[in-house]
Amino acid sequence: MKSLDELDKLRQKLQQDMQVRDNDHEVRVTVSMGTCGIAAGAREIVQAMLEELKEQGLNNVALTQTSCVGLCQHEPLLEVARGGEKTTYINVDREKAREIVRKHLVQGQVIKDWTNPEK
Amino acid sequence: MEELSQHILDIAFNSLEAGATELTISVWEDIKHNLLQFEVLDNGRGITAEDITKILDPFYTTKSFKRVGLGVPLLQEAVDRCGGNLKIKALPPGGTSVTATFPHDHLDRAPLGDITGTLITLITGHRQLNLVYRHRYNRQTFIFETRQLKTLLRGIPLHTPEVLVWLKNYLNLKIIDLRRETNEEFGRAG
Ligand code: FES
């Protein structure tokens, strides 16, 4: 079966890649996954993040989830934690999620405009 | 929620919040008998008869009981809208099963939607989770198990973005195949 062959090739490639380690994550991204987060598209955010992390070759980001954070009107919502610094992005969509990976995770620039509550 | 797969994610997420480490998600589609059913089965803390009444109540919110939220009442509503049926059961050794049954062809039945996205999201957020996904379409069955995949990966973490993107494509392909009635079980050729 073709796609399992692909998996095997991928595995061999990753095995050679010294970057793949499971536990030393520099950055943690937490997507809020309560009922209203899911309804607002949190699942699509996780997938967009994965695609962009793959494209940028970032294997050292821990992509985790939390339950309701009580900010329904700002969902989908995610938090980036790097060192001691935490940033919460609100009303994220697929494109914003990808941009957060490129700007914040790759270049280290916080995208301030997306962190303020939209009134 | 627009898709049944979002309800599945929500119910499964509740299971994980209740301490589940094993999750079996099953989808049955039987066109001849006009049936679509899904079940989320977990090994979490379980549930009491009293709690079952409570989780169906959208106004019951206590933070000490994690299964409570809007999720189950929303699913109940999705079920009622098309004359379906929802069952929540405590399992004897601990754990819970949530089963929702729908008339397959009902116009007001929400589509199953992006079930792959639901599975990927669960796997991405929960490193310790053992997930089994079973999808039966008429007489064809597709089974996926994270345990098996981990064996195939031989030490490469399942949570590597590249692996998860591969998995997403793989699952999409297999589920489309299933509907074409050509099927192989996960891992058989591997
Ligand atoms: S109910 Fe939790 S954020 Fe809306």
| Inside any domain, residue A58 | yes
Number of helices (H), then strands (E), in chain B: 6, 6
**Contact: B163, A6; criterion CB under 8 Å:** no
- Domain boundaries of chain B, sorted by first residue: 4-187
The domain of A103 spans 24-114
For A106, the token pair is 């790759």
| Inside any domain, residue A75 | yes
Contacts 24+ apart (CB under 8 A), B54-62: B55/B88, B56/B88
**In a mutagenesis test of the B interface, which of A38, A55, A56, A102 is the best target, namely the one with the most B β-carbons within 10 Å?**
A38
Q: Compute the residue count for chain B.
A: 190
**Cα of A110 from ligand 1 centre, angstroms:** 25
pTM as predicted = 0.89
pLDDT by residue, tens only, chain B of 190 residues: 899 999 999 999 988 888 899 999 999 999 999 999 999 999 987 777 777 777 777 666 544 444 445 688 899 999 999 999 999 988 887 888 999 999 999 999 999 999 999 999 999 999 889 999 999 999 899 999 999 999 999 989 999 999 999 999 999 999 999 988 644 444 333 2
**Contact: A46, B74; criterion CB under 8 Å:** no
ipTM: 0.90
| Inside any domain, residue A67 | yes
B95: alpha, beta or left? (left if phi > 0; alpha if psi -120 to 50)? left
Give the residue ranges of DSSP H helices in A1-119: 2-16, 35-40, 42-56, 94-100
| Inside any domain, residue A9 | no
Give the one of B118, B154, B164 whose C-beta lies nearest to A43's C-beta.
Answer: B118
* Distance in angstroms (rounded) separating the CA atoms of residues B45 and B30: 32
| Inside any domain, residue A1 | no
Is A118 a residue whose pLDDT tops 80?
no
**Contact: B160, A4; criterion CB under 8 Å:** no
CB A78 within 8 A of CB A45: yes
Crossing angle for the helix pair B161-179 and A2-16, to the nearest 10 degrees:
180
Ligand 1 atom closest to the Cα of residue A77 is 3
* Distance in angstroms (rounded) separating the CA atoms of residues B176 and B26: 16
Q: Compute the residue count for chain A.
A: 119
| Inside any domain, residue A110 | yes
Return the pLDDT at B73.
87
- CATH number, domain containing residue A42: 3.40.30.10
Q: Smallest Cα–Cα separation from A7: which of B82, B190, B22?
A: B190
Return the pLDDT at A68.
77
Q: Which CATH number fits domain B4-187: 3.30.565.10, 1.20.58.100, 3.60.21.10, 3.40.50.620?
A: 3.30.565.10
